[in-house]
Amino acid sequence: MKIHIATTDNAESIANIVSTANKDVAVKFGLNQDNNPKHPSFYTGDWVIADFSRGEDYFLYSVAGEAVGCVAFEQPSPEVAYLNRLSVLPDYRRQGIGEQLVQHIFDYAKIKGVSEISIGIIAKHTELKNWYTKLGFIENGMKEFPHLPFDVLFMKYVPDN
């Protein structure tokens, strides 16, 4: 299988994938260290370690032994999980890797007994919203956060159990 669970030993590799994969989003929406210092385009190994410490599970997608994509799974309650930091390196996009990582989270959530998977995206990122909609996510509200220079669109996926 090309998708495998990651460990803290993979923290720097995960941070590189997340930051590299999100740089184009930062440019597109004018995000920088001043207006959004916690944006994934600035991800570090320490942030990944903190994610693991909070109980997040990371999965890596590898091609010829090289990690080129990742996704995180966080379960704040028995019923709900968050799909976090889905990232695919630019040279490997549009090959179905992102969809395979999302499907992996769907399968993992089913094993964990989760009844809803939630994501949050930049509300004006129409292309991403449409992509998640194609995968079965539906809109689940929008929120403005004072510390962010954009509104967040929440979406959810309710698996067939």
| pLDDT tens string 48-104 | 999 999 999 999 999 999 999 999 999 999 999 999 999 999 999 999 999 999 999
Angle of helix 45-53 versus helix 11-28 axis, rounded to 10 = 110
Residues 8-43, buried b or exposed e (16+ Cβ, 10 A)? eebbebbbbbbbbbbeebbeeeebeeeebeebbbbb
| pLDDT tens string 106-117 | 999 999 999 999
What CATH number is associated with residue 52?
Answer: 3.40.630.30
For residue 16, what are its two tokens?
């590189």
Cβ atoms 72, 56 nearer than 8 A: yes
Torsional sign, CA 14, 19, 20, 21: positive
| pLDDT tens string 116-160 | 999 999 999 999 999 999 999 999 999 999 888 899 999 999 977
* Domain that residue 41 falls in: 3-157
pLDDT of amino acid 149: 87
Give how many domains the chain has, as a whole number: 1
pLDDT of amino acid 67: 96
pLDDT of amino acid 82: 97
